[in-house]
Amino acid sequence: MARNNGKKTLLANMTIQEASDFWDEHSLLEFDGTEEVAVKFKLKKKQYVGIDREVFKKLEAQARRQKLRVDVLLENWIVEKVR
């Protein structure tokens, strides 16, 4: 790993595997200016359903046109219908 004044620095061109291996062996707390904080969050439970592959391709195209993730677009449509 490259070093800067004796301190570890992350390389911007690390592969996913290299980054995974690095973080398996290191902690963010090893770097200057970082500190541990407590974070609270609440996860929403999700239910997954199957959808025909061709229908999904059309859904993906529509989501791209609207600059949305597929799951967001689909959930928006479903919420409109069940109101």
Query: What digits encode the pLDDT tens for the residues 26-81?
Result: 888 887 787 888 999 999 898 888 999 999 999 999 999 999 999 999 999 999 99
C-alpha 2/C-alpha 47 separation (Å) is 44
Angle between helices 70-82 and 53-65 (to 10 degrees): 100
- pTM attached to this predicted model: 0.48
Q: Which residues fall within 8 angstroms of residue 1, CB to CB, at 6 or more apart?
A: 8, 9, 11, 22
Q: Is 14 within 8 Å of 22 (Cβ atoms)?
A: yes
